[in-house]
Amino acid sequence: MLNVSDNKNNNQYIKLEDYKPFDYEIPNIFLDFIIEDKRVIVKTELEFIKKNININSLILDGIDIFVEKIYLDESLLEENNYSIQKNRLLIKPILKETFTLKIVGTIKPKENFSLLGMYESNGIITTQCEAEGFRRISYHSDRPDILSKYKVRIEANKEDFPVLLSNGNLVKANDLKHRRHEVIWEDPYPKPSYLFALVAGKLNCIKDNFNTKSNKKVEINIYVEKGDEKYVKHSINSLKKSMKWDEEKYNLEYDLSLFNIVAIRHFNMGAMENKSLNIFNSKLILANKETTTDEELERIEGVIAHEYFHNWTGNRITCRDWFQLSLKEGLTVFRDQEFTSDLHNRSIKRLEDAKFLRKAQFREDSGPTSHPVRPEKYLEIDNFYTTTIYEKGAEIIRMLKTLVKEENFNNGFSNFISTYDGKAATIDQFVNKILENNKEINNEKFKTWYKQNGTPLVKFKRKWDKEKQILKIQVSQINSNKKNLYNDLPLIIPINIAIFLNSYEKIKKTLILKEKEEEFTLENINSKFDSPIISYFRNFSAPIKWETDTTFAEKLLILEFETDYFTIYDTIKGIYKKIICKRIYEEPDINIENKLITTLRSIIRNNKSINLSLLSEILSIPTFSEIESEIKKVDPLKVYKTIDDLNYLFGTKLKVELLNKLKEIDKNITKLWPEGKDERKLIETIWRLLLHSKYEGIKNKVISYIDSNSMTLSKAALNVFTRINCPERELISNIFFNKWKHNPVVLDNWFFFKASIEINNNQKNIEALFKNEYFDVKSPNTLKSILNAYVTRNSLFHSRDGSGYKYVADKILEYDKSNPIVISRFLKIFSTFRQYENPYKRNIIKVLDYIKKNKLSPNTREIIDAILN
């Protein structure tokens, strides 16, 4: 691998093809942290074993570290034996094959506002080392394929920093003179530097325990800031469920007797899987039904599982280099999806995962920041923590499971764990283990999924011989993104289909497409229809788009006969998209609209056994962000108006049925999660439709829930008033704000709501949020709440004069200085500008050029260059 620091300073890309092992092993590291008022002294001892006997120098990475002394073994190095430049430390000559390097340095966490490395916030010292944060703490090669055993000593003032945590086991704790104390932590398992963690500060601990399958007692500790103790029960239960599930599903038992979690508000990531010391953004730990929605409770459960599952897929086995990031992230997303599916409703979970992928990852794949799941190059690795790496990576693994079947997949997974435990592995090695005994699937051909970017398109055409009862399905695949040479190669694509023979009988099969064009012949198809009706990619069996020759009438029959939740959802969203596009292009099809309304009325009235979350999806008109990337020549203001008009139409036409359903489900909406969650999801959809229909009788009922002891219902009341301009909107805003203004995690919902609503002097209203006394300038959550709501929910962001774009551009420049990770990811909202009509497209280009002319962080520079490329 090329030296990261050197390349970054020259704006050169790191390339996968240039990977080579590090010249040294570092089997053991001792870190001694002496925390003082304005600085932290860091004494690092690294044991080196030379692997490349032809090398006589050593290069280590470091940022903002003041070096006081360097020792090679016991000898103090003179300054002519080392140099520090361009964020790297060069030592030469080094003639020994084994040696210890001791570096005495100083860092200043209070002056570190990057939320990377070691930083202090609210009096708490925290670390975030993934991907390249450790180099802000100590000089190190800071790459994932160097695995070391860590021993850590921490010393600090006991009153200011009563809690001192690091990875592994606590082996010593002593009081020292002058009101100071020390602890020593030792991690028995080798790990890369990005998994190092340290937390020091005033934190309260909630304790619990878990007995593993071998009857080992694991102590569970969750550390939170004072006052947050009452919000951790859900997280503890989620962790214990995760530990039990991994034992039962994959025979993976936790390997230490201690598991610590720390909840920090000023934390850029959702959570970080540091070995035995997970650090979480507070939003993903603190929860109960009064402060947390049903969706958030399930997400917290899933994220806690995700970070715990990393103990094996990420920690015990890590990735060889950052190009293999999806090895740990895609695989662990797949595992947490399976966990949630087993605990809750598998069909609904699959629908939700597919919905998120198509909304977020398909958008990413269709724009200029599109990249393969295993990229070929990068400038800033932080920019590759994307839905492509995570969610699309998980989908590729799900396809593997579909292709080899569950038992074979589980055997391959177990073989991967046993073979690479304690090592840094690659995506190729994982795929090879899963397909090791499979004769049907070509390993190298399947790996093309990791090399392509863009979303493939599959086309279907039926050929039906009714007399001979032979159905032929002609299938072709294409990737319209031509920037990647791998995109011309055919993919192996599993296609779950159902062939409907009549209203109650269907044939389910999995077709495996291997070439660019294939024809599948199915015999003895005794269909009662003029042509067999087929549903494709049931259960979303591959992350692709597709086109079929299915007629509108057949789609309505699929809605009536299909049992696969995803297919039902996909079918009706396709109909909604057609209706929206017809209206946008001023060619409304009233016949299609009326037939859909008739079908929906029948479903609400007659299908009493339908899952209520599924019914909610069926009744939900797509939002702007869901439809934006599906339309060519986007006029955003017209899209928003069309969606509002359809909500009015469907709410008006279905009012009687919606009110009856509201009465029917009302008795279950107060049940404790996870019970009642389907009813609560549906109630928000019904409220929205009825409010858009201008039915005044629903307003007081919705308002009555804003002060509910269920955050799901309180937030639903906020959400449904977002686009309803009436005096009651300000009333519910004030009620919610006054109730929750002292709870920053919950108050982010209010910031999101306020940034979503459209009022006169809109940018003045948004600016007032940034100046609100409860806006926390260091909180990534609050910053994202305001910015994301404004650009995805507020049509005035798309003002024809470009003022909304210019306002956001100024915020990007302002906050890029303090939080480039959040801003570089947020900047991607402009990535679809080529699909926009003028003046929107012209206005976006103008603000992008404006942003580019300013001094930017490397993260943001890489993204804007990609967008404008």
Per-residue pLDDT tens over the stretch 283-328: 999 999 999 999 999 999 999 999 999 999 999 999 999 999 999 9
For residue 230 the two structure tokens come to 């009452």
Looking at the structure, do residues 246 and 167 belong to the same domain, yes or no?
Answer: no
Q: What is the pLDDT of residues 118-143, one digit of tens each?
A: 999 999 999 999 999 999 999 999 99
CATH, residue 426 = 1.10.390.10
**Residue 478 in this model has a pLDDT that exceeds 50:** yes
Considering only residues 721 and 631, tell me which one the structure prediction assigns the higher pLDDT: 721
How distant is the alpha carbon of residue 402 from its chain centre? 23
pLDDT in the model for residue 255: 98
What is the separation, in whole angstroms, between the first and last Cα of the chain? 26
176: closest CA among 197, 202, 200, 154?
154
Owner of token pair 């629908």: 351
CATH, residue 111 = 2.60.40.1730
H helices of 357-453, where?
362-365, 387, 393-404, 406-420, 427-434, 443-446, 448-451
Looking at the structure, do residues 161 and 195 belong to the same domain, yes or no?
Answer: yes
Over the chain, what is the mean pLDDT? 96
**Residue 392 in this model has a pLDDT that exceeds 60:** yes
Looking at the structure, do residues 387 and 483 belong to the same domain, yes or no?
Answer: no
C-alpha 266/C-alpha 334 separation (Å) is: 28
Q: What is the pLDDT of residues 799-850, one digit of tens each?
A: 999 999 999 999 999 999 999 999 999 999 999 999 999 999 999 999 999 9
- Which of 451, 466, 499 is the C-terminal boundary of a domain? 451
Active-site position among 307, 364, 554, 630: 307
pLDDT in the model for residue 762: 85
Cα within 13 Å of Cα(126), Cβ side = 32
H helices of 136-267, where?
233-250
Looking at the structure, do residues 293 and 346 belong to the same domain, yes or no?
Answer: no
pLDDT band, very low/low/confident/very high, at 7 (cuts 50, 70, 90): very low
Asked if residue 545 belongs to a domain, the reply is: yes
**Residue 5 in this model has a pLDDT that exceeds 50:** no
CA dihedral 731, 734, 735, 736 (to 10 degrees): 120
Q: Give me the percent of the chain exceeding a pLDDT of 90.
A: 95
543: closest CA among 413, 753, 360, 395?
395
**Residue 3 in this model has a pLDDT that exceeds 70:** no
pLDDT band, very low/low/confident/very high, at 526 (cuts 50, 70, 90): very high
Looking at the structure, do residues 464 and 519 belong to the same domain, yes or no?
Answer: yes
How distant is the alpha carbon of residue 491 from its chain centre? 25
- Which of 283, 311, 339 is the C-terminal boundary of a domain? 311
**Residue 2 in this model has a pLDDT that exceeds 70:** no
Asked if residue 786 belongs to a domain, the reply is: no
C-alpha 443/C-alpha 431 separation (Å) is: 7
Q: What is the pLDDT of residues 412-470, one digit of tens each?
A: 999 999 999 999 999 999 999 999 999 999 999 999 999 999 999 999 999 999 999 99
Looking at the structure, do residues 270 and 189 belong to the same domain, yes or no?
Answer: no
Q: Which domain holds residue 287?
A: 209-311
Looking at the structure, do residues 475 and 405 belong to the same domain, yes or no?
Answer: no
Asked if residue 95 belongs to a domain, the reply is: yes
290 is an active site residue: no
469: closest CA among 534, 536, 522?
522
Q: Which residues contact 847 (CB under 8 A, 6 or more apart)?
A: 802, 805, 806, 808, 809, 830
Asked if residue 815 belongs to a domain, the reply is: no
For residue 869 the two structure tokens come to 């490329």
CATH, residue 307 = 3.30.2010.30
Answer whether 209's CB lies under 8 Å from 202's CB: no
Answer whether 851's CB lies under 8 Å from 809's CB: yes
Q: What is the pLDDT of residues 92-127, one digit of tens each?
A: 999 999 999 999 999 999 999 889 999 999 999 999
pLDDT in the model for residue 11: 64
832 SS3 class: coil
The structural domain count of the chain equals 4
C-alpha 456/C-alpha 479 separation (Å) is: 5
Looking at the structure, do residues 293 and 334 belong to the same domain, yes or no?
Answer: no
Answer whether 557's CB lies under 8 Å from 610's CB: no
Asked if residue 276 belongs to a domain, the reply is: yes
pTM comes to 0.96
pLDDT in the model for residue 8: 45
Asked if residue 266 belongs to a domain, the reply is: yes
Looking at the structure, do residues 166 and 120 belong to the same domain, yes or no?
Answer: yes
C-alpha 698/C-alpha 795 separation (Å) is: 25
pLDDT in the model for residue 509: 97
C-alpha 550/C-alpha 547 separation (Å) is: 9
Asked if residue 689 belongs to a domain, the reply is: no
Looking at the structure, do residues 198 and 234 belong to the same domain, yes or no?
Answer: no
Looking at the structure, do residues 218 and 267 belong to the same domain, yes or no?
Answer: yes
Asked if residue 113 belongs to a domain, the reply is: yes
* Amino acid residing at 769: L
pLDDT band, very low/low/confident/very high, at 687 (cuts 50, 70, 90): very high
| Pairing between β-strand 217-224 and β-strand 204-211 as defined by DSSP bridges | antiparallel
- Which of 202, 233, 262 is the C-terminal boundary of a domain? 202
Answer whether 390's CB lies under 8 Å from 328's CB: no
C-alpha 523/C-alpha 466 separation (Å) is: 11
Looking at the structure, do residues 304 and 365 belong to the same domain, yes or no?
Answer: no
How distant is the alpha carbon of residue 57 from its chain centre? 40
CATH, residue 503 = 2.60.40.1840
Angle between helices 325-343 and 427-434 (to 10 degrees): 50
